[in-house]
Structure formats: structure tokens, C-alpha cells
Structure 1
Amino acid sequence: MNLVTVSLGSNIHPTRHIRCCLDALADTFGPLQISRVFESEPVGFADSRNFYNLVVAFHSAWTPGELQAWGKQLEIEHGRLPDIAKFSPRALDIDLLTVGSLCGTVDDVALPRSEITHNAFVLQPLAELLPEQRHPSCGTPYAALWSAFELGSQRLWAVDFSWRGRWISQADEQPLLAAARR
């Protein structure tokens, strides 16, 4: 069984779609580790609504191809068209970030996903969720990658979000890693 990490995003009814996705993940893969939920301004999108983003970790024996296909099917079930433009609003975006320590292209899936080190809306929740876990390619812990990350114009902030009767995140939480970003 590998530790799998996925990034979830939505800017169309995000609370509803993310809750449904978490239900599907838990029902399929069992116990989940879930980061705080962040609202972020769209990166690369013109005239688009803000996104909700988070990272989820779970254990699975599925191959990268099986995981990718499962995620794409769930996106389609939530209204995403397979040939949609890259930078367009979406009800649900599921990106496979890592599968254990796999590196390279496996089952036509590039691992680890390059967005980990390029986008704050992926790296911050990943670093908070698994701070000591090492990036499969460079070997640097996610917390160290986040501490060195250049935010530039990327802005994100935690939002109130509950799932299955418990708070996943709250807007006023101050994570330990936040001190490194001030």
C-alpha cells in the first residue's frame, strides 16, 4: 500500500462538490488525512471565481493509472467535460500529486505532479498536512519547500469548512507553518 496524495479544487459550488468528493474518497479508500481548505485567487484564469483547494492523503494499492482514471471519472460525474479548456471554471478538479515514492511517468501519469513546487494552493496544504514527508524527486520535506516558496502574487487563506460533522478548517486558525510565511 502506498501513501497517495491528491489535490482537490473547485470554483463552482465548491463546498458541495468538495464534500461529495471527500465522501467518494472515504467510501472508496477508507480513512483520509485532510488538510485545511484554502480559498485562492485563480492562477492563469481570466475573470474566474476564487477556488477552494485542499490536499487529501490516503493509503491505496491501486496503480497510478487506476487512481487517475477514478479521479477523472469523478470529475465527469460532477459536470466536468473531458475536453474542457485548461483554464476554465470547474466544479471539481482532482490532481494526483504523489503515489508513494514513485518518480517518472507511470501508466501515462507524471509523478510527482509538478504543481507541488509551483503553486501555493498545492504546496501550502501539502506542507501543513505532511510537513516531514519528503518530496519524491528532490527529497526535501514539504515544510522546508513551503518555507522557501516565493509566493509572488499567489494569495490564499483558510476558510471555514466542515465535513461529516467535524471541522476540517476554520478561517481563524493559525498553523505552525504560518509563522514562516510572515
Structure 2
Amino acid sequence: MNHVYLGLGSNLGDKVYNLTRGVALISEQLGAVEVSSIYETTPLGFSIQPGFFNAACRLRTRANPFEVMDAIRKIEYAVGRHRTFVNAPRTLDVDILVFGSLVIDTPPLAVPHPRLAERSFALVPLAEFGPRLVHPGLGVSIAELLSRLPDEPRRIVMTLRAWNQSLMEGGSMLGMVSSIA
């Protein structure tokens, strides 16, 4: 069984719904997931756009990295994502952050995510799964990577307990999603 860590983001529409729907589809198509809290963050790159809600999830799956990548692209589309330009606003963005201990750099897939070490919006929720989780390519813990970055403003939008409760009340997620606390 593969342990995969995904980063999720949304800055269009009902952001909590988009993240929740994405997690539900990930669980249905790829396997049981655990979720982090949801954080509000400022956009990178193309900054004239709404702020993001970001989260992470840990997935246990039998799928290989390319199957996971294919599935999450279809899930993004199902939740309304249309790729227009780099860093464009989006209903749902899902990235493979870490896939077990694998290091892959074969277009179109790079794992761990090539900019993970630079992105607090991905590292903060990822650290909820355990600060000792190690970046496979760098051999450094997520906590250490996070400590190297400047503090950035962020706000917890929904704690993992509240989000987990929301997911459970959705019906289809019952028994498939667990909190990490």
C-alpha cells in the first residue's frame, strides 16, 4: 500500500465545498484519506486573484504515481477546473506532494513536488501529519523545511475536527475519512 500526501487548493466559488468535494472524489476513486485543517493563504505568482483555501490529505492507495496523477486531473475537472494559464484562479488544484519514498522526475510527473520546500501553504498543512515526515528528495523533515521559510500570514478557516465532521455529514464519506488528531 502506498502512502501519498496530496496538497489541495481552491480560490474560486465555494472553496470549502470544492475542497470537500475533491476529498470525497479522491476517497471514492483512490482510497481512504485523512485530512488536515484548511488554511487561508495569499496567492503566489499571479497575485491579482482571490485568496486560497489550502489543505493536505494523506492517502493510502494501491495506485501507482501516474495513476494517481491521472485520477487527480480528472477530479480537478469534475470540480470545475479549467486550465487557462499558469497560476490562474481555480476551483480545485490537487498536487502530489510526496509519494512514499519515491523520487520521480519524468515528464509529466515530478515527485516530490518540485517547489514543495518553498511553499508554506503546502508545508503547513502537510506538517499536521507529523513534523518528522521527510522530504524524500532532500532528506530533510517537513518541520525543518518549514522553519527555513519566513512566517507568512495565514488563518485556519476550518480545523481538521470541524472539516472531518463536515465530511462525515456529507454521507458518502462516512467511514472513509478520518482526522489526524
TM-score, length-normalised on structure 2? 0.82
1:164 paired with 2:162, answer no
Q: Deviations over 1:10-67 (max 9, x none)?
A: 0112111111011112222333221111000111123211100011011112111111
- Structure 1 counterpart of 2:179: none
Q: Quick check: 1:92 aligned with 2:95? A: no
Partner of 1:46: 47
Q: Is the Cα contact below 8 Å between 1:132 and 1:141 reproduced in 2?
A: yes
Partner of 1:144: 144
Counterpart CA distance in 1 for 2:62 and 2:27 is 15
Secondary structure of 2:134's counterpart equals coil
Contact 1:9 1:94 survives alignment (8 Å): yes
Whether contact under 8 Å (1:4, 1:57) holds in the other structure is: yes
Equivalent residue pairs, number: 163
Q: Identify if the C-alpha distance between structure 1 residues 79 and 20 changes in structure 2 by more than 3 Å, giving closer, same or farther.
A: same
Q: Percent identity?
A: 28
Q: Unaligned regions of 5+ residues in structure 1, if any?
A: 167-182
Closer, same or farther in 2 for the Cα pair 1:29/1:156, shift >3 Å? Answer: same
Q: How does 1:64-83 map to 2 (within 5 A)?
A: 64-82=65-83
Per-residue deviation, 1:81: 2.0
Gapped runs of 5+ residues in structure 2?
170-181
Question: Which residue of 2 is the match for residue 16 of structure 1?
Answer: 17
SS across alignment from 1:114: coil
- Contact 2:54/2:122, CA 8 A, preserved across alignment: yes
Cα 1:32/1:140, change in 2 over 3 Å: same
In the alignment, what sits opposite 1:37?
A: 38
Distance 2:29 2:130 in 1: 21
Q: 1: distance between equivalents of 2:132 and 2:106?
A: 25
Aligned residue identity for 1:41:
T
Amino acid at match of 1:105: D
Please state how far the C-alpha of 1:165 moved relative to its aligned partner. 4.2
Task: State the partner residue of 2:6.
Answer: 6
State how far apart, in whole Å, the 2-side matches of 1:46 and 1:15 are.
21
Give the Cα separation in 1 of the matches to 2:107 and 2:66: 5
Q: Normalized against structure 1, the TM-score is what?
A: 0.82
- The one-letter amino acid paired with 1:150 is P
> Which residue in the other structure is 2:177 paired with?
none
Root-mean-square deviation (Å): 1.7
Larger RCO (alpha carbons 8 Å, 6+ apart): 2
